Structure formats: C-alpha cells, structure tokens
Amino acid sequence: MDSPSDRFHQQPSQMCPFELYRSLPDSNPSNHRFSPGSLSSHPLFSPLMHPNSMSQRWGSFRQRQGLFPGLLVDDDVSEEDVFGKREFSVGATPSLQRCPGERGQGSAPEPGDWGQDFARVKRLRMDSAARSEEEMRRREGKRGRKSTASVRMDKRRGAEQGNRRESREGRKRQRQELKLQLEETRGKLLELQRKVWKVYGGQADDEKGGEEEQENGLINLDEVAEMFSDSDDPLTGSGFSPPRCSSKKPNETNGNAGIFPETSVDLDLELNGDQVWLGCSLVRGEWESAEGGQKFAQALKQELANVVAQVIDRVVRLYAETDPSAVTMASVPQETSMTLDLNPDQRPRPHPAEQVEALPLLTKSPQDKRAPIAQSVPKDLLLPQANPSLTPLPQPPLPALLPPRRKDHFLPSYPPDNPVPLPLLHYTMQNLFARSLSTLPLHKDCLSESFMDFRSHNSAFPPISLLGQLEPSPSDRAREGGMRGGGAGVVDGGDAALYLAAGSSQEGLSPCHLKKAKLMFFYTRYPSSSTLKTYFPDVKFNRCVNSQLIKWFSNFREFFYIQMERFARQAAREGLASARERALHLGRDTELYRILNMHYNKSNDYQVPERFVEISEVALREFFSAIQSGRDADPCWKKAIYKIICKLDSPVPDSFRLPGCPTDTYRMG
DNA sequence: ACCGACCCTG
DNA sequence: CAGGGTCGGT
C-alpha cells in the first residue's frame, strides 16, 4: 500500500503535507524562524494545494483505488492535466485551482518554489520541537493501535471460516472496536486542537469555523505550524471529518463541533450510511474482506487528508482575517477537498477558484505603511462575498470602492468566473505601478513622483469604462456633501488610477490630493495651513508642500473669481432685468454651475454642496453689483469681494480628514 | 487648465 | 517669510 511513509524520500514537491511533518530531518528549528511580518509573503498553504503535492498524491491514490477509472492520474502528468481531468471528473465541484493570472496558463509552477515552500512549512513544524515529541509519541501509540486493528482483522478472517454467526458477531465487535478507536483518536485530536487554539489566542471555544475573527495582525507562523502539526497524523486526522469529503455531520455546527465534531454520531452516520465511508471508496462491509485492512488504512489516510484540508481551511481563514489582502483566499482547501469530494456535503462553500486565485496576487501587492484604505477595501467588500462563511465585518466609514464581482469582466482572457476580483486586480496593478514610479528621480520638490509622471501619462491608464468597475453600487448614494471619506475615490478615467494609489503615504502631493483639494474648495476657499494639514494627513508636510497646497487654493480662487467676473459681466450686459436676474441665479442647471462643477469636481462623482452654490451666487452678485456700479474701475475693486467670500468658508466635512481621496457615491452605478 | 514668476501685504 | 493675487506662458 501506498502509505505516507513510502513517500518519505521523494522530492519535496511530491510529498504530502503530512509527510513533511513526519519526515523532518532538520533538528535545528531555531534556524528557521520566520518573522511574522513576512508571513503574508509566504505562500504557506499554496504548496498544500499544489497538485504536485496533495492532489497528485491523491490522484495516484485514486488511480490505484480505481475510484475514478476514467481519471488517469499519473505521477508525471502535468499540473494542467491533473487539474483538467480532475475538474472534468469532479464536475460538480466548481473548482479552479490554479491562478490564471499567476500560475496557470501554461506557466507551470517551478518545483523549486514549491519545494521551498514545503521546506518552510517543514521548518515551521520544527519550531515546536517539544510539541513534535509529544505528537510523535502519540503517533506511535496510534500506529500500534492501527497494527492491532490489522491483526484483529486477520484473526477475524480466520474466524470467518468457522461459524457464520460467530463471524458476524466478530465483525460487529470489530466494528465497534474500530469505532471506539476512532472515537478515541478523535477525542485526542479534539483535545489537541483545543490546546492549539488556546495557544493561538483563546479561540478554542468562540471560534466557529473561523467565522469570528479579530484582526490581531499577522499570524505567528509557529501557530500556523502548530495547526498543521496537529493534524499530520492519519489517525488523529480522523478526529474531525472533512468538511467536504464525507457525509455531512448534522451536529457539526453545534458548539465547538464546528471544528471538532462529535465523534460517535459521525461514526454512526458513516457506518450506517451504507455508502461511502470516511469519504473514500470503502463501502460498508467491504473493509471486512481480505483487503479490508488495507482499505481501512487507506480510509484512515484519507481521513488524514481531509484533516489537512480542514487545517488548511482554518489557516486560510486566519490569513484572511489577519491579512485583509488575502481575504479572497479565505476557506481554500479546495485541492484536497475537491479531490476527495466523493460525497459532497451541503455545506455552503465559497467559490474555490476565487480564493485560490486572488491570494498570490494580493499578497504580492505592496502593503504600504499607512495604506489604511488599501487594506480596508478588500476586506470590507470582498470578504463577505468571497467567503460567505465568515461573519461580515462592520462597515467602516470608508467608501465602498469595490463592487460585487460582476460577470462582465473586462479582461476577456479570463474565464467567466474569473476568481480574480478585477477591481482589486486593477488596484493592485495601479498600486504597483504607482509604487514603481516612486523610485524614479524627483522632478519636483513638492509633488509626488507619481503625480509628475502621471500628468503626462494619464493615457496609460484604463478608460473610465474599465474603471467604472470600481464604482460602488448605486444603493447608497449620498446627498449634499454626503461623502464617505477617506477612500481612494473613483474619478475620471485618466486620474482614477492615481487617486486609487494615493491612499498610500505620499512624500509629495499626488493628483488625488489635488482632487481632494478641489473638493475641499467647495467648503473652504481660504484654508489655513493648519486646516490643510488636518485634511491631508497622508501628506508629509514641509514648507514646499504647504506652499503648493496654498498655491492650489490660490489657483482655485483665481479660476473661481474669473468665472464670477465673467458671468457677472455677462449678466450686466443683459438688457432685460428678468434675464439679468436669471443670469445671476446660479442654479444647478446653469452654465456657470456646470463650469464650476467641471473644474472642481471633474469626474462629477461628488455632489456639489448647496452651500457652495449659494456662495458662488453671492460672489456672482457681488461682482455684478460692483460692475454695475462702476466700482470695477478701481484697481482694488475685487478685494472687497474677496473679503466677503473669505468669510463664507464653511467647515470641511470630517470625511476629508481621512487620507486619500474623498468621494461620495453620488452618481455611482 | 495649470503653473511659474512676480508683486504686495501683514 | 507666509500667504494672496495677478499676469503671462504653455
């Protein structure tokens, strides 16, 4: 039989995850500690889902078992083949394991990479040496039990030749014994799991399938390793049933059974089910035959795989909740689970491809030191969708930037159910691009590099039709300054990319800041330096930046007053009083309003505050009266008007205090 | 539409 | 010196 230990000496990329833990020649764990900060960049669980590791092993297993006669899985077959056939054979499982944007599309993963990942996991496993020892002892005990079971079965075979009834009773006893053994191991695993979860942070009881998570930062890799190590034993692996491989456990969601299901019921269900047992092809009664022992071992192994899948699942969940950029990966263990999905349960599961795809992409996206928006966006908007099993997080007062995934993706090369949330992809790419620009030499002292660059390269970015994907749903339109602050806003096509990237910290001013300043102009025409500092928290202020911002507002005023004077003179030329009055009224349907809106709110995604319309009309009338009365002959005739307008500043909404480009959802959708 | 240069004021 | 305004260039 193809016991896990048979694969001991295979190259890492072909090893089962649990083999890794079992076969650790490295005895110097202290050399291999990973800093938690680097966690997100380590594809910890990706190797576990790699076909060369788990799935391929199970593919071979299936082949030898004849579980899928039509599914020829060879150890040397390519990843694509494995996947393709698997997908074909397990059509009911909506699974896309590889990442079109990353590993798929013919770009086979490099075994070296995966091997390294395995090695990392290995080392992690070694980090808990004492724990390992304990588990080894545990394993030894279980192996002993296992062989005992085999012996018993042999004996039973001999008894079969005797009295029929006796043999039947013996079988019953055997079954009972096996059940007891399984229950025992399950109990032990349960205990172990609880320990682990306590160590992890007292979540043993309140953590229901990883649904209630807190943002504790990055997971300690040791803890992750422990979680893996908890389930690396085939026998202990039977402690919890696979979420997707065996029959659904009705009590699985009761209490802590969500993680550690009650054992007796499970076994009863499975043994009485007269169907697939423990998620493999071992049908009731079959395991009592001559090869029953082997099949029993296989069943146990399969259980182990299921356990691994669960562990991965939980690790991924933890990833998802601690690293928002990985949320789309949440609940991932599709590789093993899909492979073993012979008896799919009813547990709702997220689209596998969605998660598998996004992680490599997202974890590679630069995590800016401040970037609160960048981090919050995917979590808020993608988490509930990508992982419906997770409790939705409270909606922060940040704009919803990423809409639900739509089917009409604009990257045609992707499948319809493209797992990569494209807006997110967009953001990532833009962010990468923007960041890469930051390495360019400075052109200006005050403006950010990206600003300088993008001013002449806006065309390099997607047109608005594409960026329209970023628009939130029209459901929560905000009225009258109802901006929901902070986030990287959706603006016109040319600038949107820049604004998106501007949630990150800036040495200088970015187009997003310009946009924000313009929107601020709706509220304050004469902001003080302190005000500017307040509302541009993501800008490192120095004299130059401050002057630049002041200059911006000066320019805004310049434009504003020029338009006022122009339209005032135009009104002054009106002969009829009614027409003049009409011209002096600044309705939202007037040309002056359109011009102002176009200038300060170019993308028209922000509702111009009524107050600004009123103030503009005041200015217009002031200009008009000055012109009418001939005061414009005075070279300083505008000063008086400036004085009036200067007093009409209103407070800027708090949403502007957040970094990034504010926007409301007006006109969205 | 934007910005630099320049001037003025406090 | 900071900030505001104006003018002219692009």
Is the C-beta atom of A648 closer than 7 angstroms to strand C?
A: no
Evaluate whether A602 touches A492 at the Cβ level (below 8 Å).
Answer: yes
Tell me what pLDDT residue A575 has: 83
User: Rg of chain A over CA atoms, in angstroms?
Assistant: 32
Place of tokens 């005992």: A148
Start-end of H helices in A341-419? 352-364, 372-386
A511, closest nucleotide (Cα–C1'):
B2
Give the span between the Cα atoms of A306 and A340, in whole angstroms: 8
Asked whether residue A526, judged by its CB, lies under 7 Å from any atom of the DNA or RNA strand C, the reply is yes
Q: How far is A274 from A284, CA to CA, in rounded Å? A: 5
The answer to whether A646 CB is within 7 Å of strand C is yes
- Return residues with beta carbons within 7 A of strand B: A 444, 514, 551-552, 555, 558-559, 595, 598-599
CA–C1' gap, A645 and B6, in angstroms: 25
**Whole-number distance in Å between A451 CA and B7 C1':** 29
First-to-last C-alpha distance (Å) of chain A: 59
Q: Which nucleotide lies at the shortest CA–C1' distance from A514?
A: B2
pLDDT of residue A518: 92
Q: A664 with A515: CB under 8 angstroms?
A: no
Distance A553 CA to B8 C1' (A): 18
Distance, Å, A645 CA → C1 C1': 25
C-alpha torsion sign, points A508, A510, A513, A514 = positive
**Distance separating alpha carbons of residues A99 and A56, to the nearest angstrom:** 17
- How many Å apart are A454 CA and B6 C1'? 28
Q: Collect the ranges in chain A with pLDDT lower than 70.
A: 1-174, 178-180, 182-507, 663-669
> Helix, strand, coil: what percent of chain A each, to 5?
60, 0, 40
Grouping H, G, I as helix, E, B as strand and the rest as coil, residue A283 is strand
Task: Evaluate if pTM is beyond 0.85.
Answer: no
User: Closest nucleotide to residue A446 (Cα to C1')?
Assistant: B3
**A251 Cβ nearer than 7 Å to chain C strand:** no
Q: Which residue is nearest to nucleotide B2 (CA to C1')?
A: A555
Nucleotide nearest to A543 (CA to C1'): C2
Question: CA–C1' span, A632 to B5, in Å?
Answer: 26
pLDDT value of residue A469: 26
CA distance A20 to A16: 7
Rounded distance in angstroms from the CA atom of residue A632 to the C1' atom of nucleotide B9: 21
Q: Which nucleotide is nearest to A646 (CA to C1')?
A: C4
Q: What are the angstrom distances between the C-alpha of A545 and each of A171, A448, A537, A541, A549?
A: 83, 10, 12, 6, 6
Bridge partners for A539 per DSSP = A506
Nucleic strand C contacts from chain A, 535-574, CB < 7 Å:
543, 546-547, 550, 553-555, 557-558, 561
